[in-house]
Amino acid sequence: MTTLNTILSAIPSIANDSIASNRKEIISQLSQMSLEQVFEKIISGTIELTIKITIAFVIFFVGRWLMKRLHKIVLRILEKRNVELSLRTFLLSAINITLTLFLIVIIIGILGIDTTSFVAVFASAGLAVGMALSGTLQNFAGGVMVLLFKPYKVGDFIEAQGQSGTVKEIQIFNTILNTADNKTIIIPNGGLSTGIINNYSKEGRRRVDWTFGIAYGDSYDKAKSILYDLLKNDNRVLDTPPVFIALNSLGDSSVNIVVRAWVNMEDYWGVYFDLNEKVYKSFAEAGINIPFPQMDVHLFKENTAELS
């Protein structure tokens, strides 16, 4: 609004300059005319000016009527597409300001005032605003993209720009996240619209992955059977896709078993932590050892007599 007020405040000075130039030209012409010609010129000029003012008023009221109609049409379209209220208000305001400036230029042209200066003022103001607000406009454009294409919505748990949390609010320029430890993170929308976003809530299901190690010499089949039973008895684990258990690798000090199971999104962490606890207890009861990294050090005693 500050920029618009600056432009509108510059209009009278530009108009005065144009009128002063026309005034000098008219005085120069009148000095070379007779009194009868001057009266004819005044009458014809008055009639011409009256016609221009009438046309300008008609165009102004018709233009305002068309702008209101367009406002209602655009509003109806935005509401039908469920566009965010903040974005809806901003777009309607931007369209109204643009059309108002366009209508002013048309009316000024009809009144006979040179519009070149006005176009130059608008172009300069637009360039200045664009350069001053380049970063802000990038965030605004990113906000528009987020609100239109909806890569995430309020309530989704996302990871982006090195931060993760639940989307608390989507604003025009920023997205506000609430982390698991109740911190508020504000991320500019410009980076979100061009960067990678990991939306954990987009799908209804999520795969849980574990890797359990058992000692060399312990029964792999027995460990695999225990893992199957633990997952089968957990009602939160989905039957489709089926549970996947396989020998993943032979490590330096353990035989590593990979386990994968599918759960509903809201059950992810509960199933993950519960199985860790159950495996620790069940393996111990079954005599299966969970190894830890260790190093064997061999000491050799040298024969000091031979060395001397």
CATH, residue 281: 3.30.70.100
pLDDT at 300: 74
Residue 227: inside a domain: yes
Which residue among 82, 100, 132 closes a domain?
A: 132
22 is in which domain, residue-wise? Answer: 2-132
Q: Distance (Å, rounded) from C-alpha 137 to C-alpha 173?
A: 8
Query: Could you tell me if 53 and 172 lie in one domain?
Result: no
Query: Could you tell me if 272 and 154 lie in one domain?
Result: no
Domain count, the chain: 3
Residue 296: inside a domain: no
pLDDT at 18 over 60: no
**Which residues are CB-contacts of 98 (< 8 A; sequence separation ≥ 6)?**
none
Residue 294: inside a domain: no
Query: Could you tell me if 183 and 164 lie in one domain?
Result: yes
Stretch 270-281: mean pLDDT: 95
- CATH number, domain at 180? 2.30.30.60
pLDDT at 271: 96
Structure tokens at 146: 């987020």
Pick the closest to residue 235 from 270, 201, 273 (CA basis). 270
Query: Could you tell me if 105 and 193 lie in one domain?
Result: no
Confidence of residue 8 (pLDDT cuts 50, 70, 90): very low
Query: Could you tell me if 31 and 128 lie in one domain?
Result: yes
- CATH number, domain at 107? 1.10.287.1260
Query: Could you tell me if 98 and 22 lie in one domain?
Result: yes
Query: Could you tell me if 176 and 88 lie in one domain?
Result: no
Q: Which of 75-79, 90-94, 143-147, 231-235 has the lowest mean pLDDT?
A: 90-94
pLDDT in tens, 23-65: 666 666 656 666 666 677 677 778 887 888 888 888 889 988 9
Query: Could you tell me if 69 and 23 lie in one domain?
Result: yes
- Percent of the chain exceeding pLDDT 70 equals 75
Query: Could you tell me if 66 and 122 lie in one domain?
Result: yes
Residue burial 193-218, b: 16+ Cβ < 10 Å; e: rest: beeebeeebeeeeeebebebbbeeeb
Query: Could you tell me if 33 and 126 lie in one domain?
Result: yes
Helix, strand, coil percent content, the chain, rounded in steps of 5: 60, 15, 25
Query: Could you tell me if 48 and 69 lie in one domain?
Result: yes
pLDDT in tens, 84-137: 666 677 677 778 888 888 888 888 888 777 666 666 666 766 666 566 555 677
Residue 302: inside a domain: no
